[in-house]
Amino acid sequence: MITATCWAPKGVAKTVPFKSDPRNNEVEKQVEQELKTEVKTLKENTKTKKDEITKRFDLDNYDDEILDTEEDGEFTNLGVLTDVSNLMHYQNNEDDPYLDNDEEDEEEELEDIMIKPTDCILLATVKEDDISHLDFYIYEYHEDNLYVHHDILLPNFPLCVEWLNYNPSSNEGESDIGNIAAIGTFDPAIELWNLDVLEILEPLAHLGGYNQKSSTIKKMKQKNKKIHKLTTGSHSDAVLSLSWNKLHRNVLASGSADKTVKIWDLSTQQVVCTLTHHQDKVQTVCWNPIESSVILTGSYDRTISLLDIRQSDKVASWNLSADIESSCWNTHSPAHFLAATEDGMITYHDGLKSGNTSSVIFRLQAHEKAVTGLSYNPCIPNMLLTTSLDKKLKIWDLSPNSTENSTIQPRCLYTHSFSGKIFNGSFSGYASSPYLFCVGTKDGVKMIDASQYEPVVKRYSSSNLVATPSTTSASTSSTSTSTSTSTSTSTS
């Protein structure tokens, strides 16, 4: 099951990721020492068994029995070794076809792990039986080729993932640019993983969590986890949502089941602000794309709130029809935002009119069940993607009726049905492939290009909003639908 997905910009990953160096990691040092101890024990046991076999079969005198017959200076019992005329001798090992060419193997291995600047990058957290992991996907757009480049074993059930380019462990004088994944789990700690390291066993850093340090392996083996003291400022329950502040790269926001929102300074790995305006679990947090101190938060108390963290006591809130599932800003009109709830309803709000009866611009019954994914297309104005537990994804046109009439009447351009539930979905935001989006399902990640949907391309190419992309092969087959959905303007 794909529990969460997140896109990363192209070109952010190292061309050749490096393997983890045990000398730079205390946990891996411990693992290496444990392996050495096991190998030593195994050698001792093997030596003991070898001595027993040697004594039992009298192998010390075995050669004497074989080579005791000598005639004219030659041994007669050498068997096949007496005829060496058919043995081939090569001056160089490179010429011997039976020897592996290490240089060629190294070149092939290097090609396998290389990441091109044109590769699309997607992060996906996965839960399979009792194992959780983070998959680093590469998608070659023009070849329609999706594969897992590498993965990271996670010690806890992952609930959310956020990409960021700030490396909190960079040394003084070094660049703090990194390729990092922040992951929220059922534990109160936020894990920061270095995506440029292969076969990594331990997070780069933790934000909050329990005070006692233990290795990943020990955590996974632990059946009855003891209750430890939380670090100062930590969440006290599961971390449900994360949002990285792109305008202040060292700032990360987190929402938790402990009913709080915390603002973290990645440079110190400490919490700088705790917001307590919600009365239930905080399901969504989202920084405004242009106002660096403005944040949107949604909670199971059936409200969505807007506030400036510089004046955290002044909170604007809107009531919702059910528990919130997802929210997002309109990247082309950053004063407006959307909220989606578990009853399939979507509401569109004007953040500048808090408390005003016209602050809710429209309400839309988008799906029959919970809306799990909500994504504005960063490259194409007024294009919205929604995914749901009703096994459907939909693409909506949220354009105003006309230049004179600013009323928005959402129109569903396309509907696609899957065989199972859809847990998340989002547009890539790549200018070179503006129609590309992903969905996460029980069966894995699906990459879809909306340029294969005629109603979508017809609507947006004619408006000169984007260049018409070349048609790519479809990763899934669907039936196109184009319908109008009537909505009415409602008040909060």
Composition of the chain by helix, strand, coil, percent to 5 = 15, 40, 45
Given a cut of 90, whether residue 386 has pLDDT beyond it is yes
d(Cα 164, Cα 264) in Å, to the nearest integer?
13
Radius of gyration, alpha carbons of the chain:
30
Given a cut of 50, whether residue 344 has pLDDT beyond it is yes
DSSP secondary structure, 161-175, as one string: EEEEEE-TTPPTTS-
Given a cut of 70, whether residue 416 has pLDDT beyond it is yes
Model pLDDT, residue 29? 58
Closest by CA to 492, choosing from 304, 344, 299, 301, is 304
Report residue 30 as tokens: 């411990």
Which has more pLDDT, 194 or 64?
A: 194
Model pLDDT, residue 268? 94
The 10s digit of each residue's pLDDT in 15-28 is: 988 886 544 555 55
Count Cβ atoms below 10 Å from residue 31 Cβ, excluding itself. 17
Widest CA span in the chain: 114
Given a cut of 90, whether residue 82 has pLDDT beyond it is no
Report residue 95 as tokens: 């010429």
d(Cα 146, Cα 443) in Å, to the nearest integer?
14
Place of tokens 């004063």: 335
Closest by CA to 264, choosing from 276, 273, 255, 275, is 273
Closest by CA to 123, choosing from 3, 263, 239, 238, is 3
Q: Among 352-361, 369-378, 450-459, 479-488, where is mean pLDDT lowest?
A: 479-488
DSSP secondary structure, 103-148, as one string: HHHHHHHHHHH---TT-EEEEEEEEETTEEEEEEEEEETTTTEEEE
Report residue 239 as tokens: 């971390």
Place of tokens 């075995």: 62
Strand 197-198, strand 18-19: pairing = parallel
Closest by CA to 209, choosing from 269, 260, 253, 280, is 269
Q: How confident is the model at residue 287 (pLDDT cuts 50, 70, 90)?
A: very high
d(Cα 287, Cα 273) in Å, to the nearest integer?
15
How many residues appear in the chain?
Answer: 492
Question: Which of the residue ranges 10-14, 171-175, 280-284, 469-473 has the most confident prediction, judged by mean pLDDT?
Answer: 280-284
Closest by CA to 394, choosing from 415, 380, 374, 410, is 415
Overall average pLDDT of the 249-261 stretch: 97
d(Cα 192, Cα 202) in Å, to the nearest integer?
9
Overall average pLDDT of the 371-381 stretch: 95
d(Cα 5, Cα 7) in Å, to the nearest integer?
7
**What are the beta bridge partners of residue 4?**
125
Q: What b-and-e string marks burial along 298-312, b requiring 16 or more CB atoms within 10 Å of the CB?
A: bbbbbbbbbbebeeb
Overall average pLDDT of the 337-360 stretch: 85
| 119: exposed, middle or buried (Cβ count in 10 Å: 0-12, 13-18, 19+) | middle
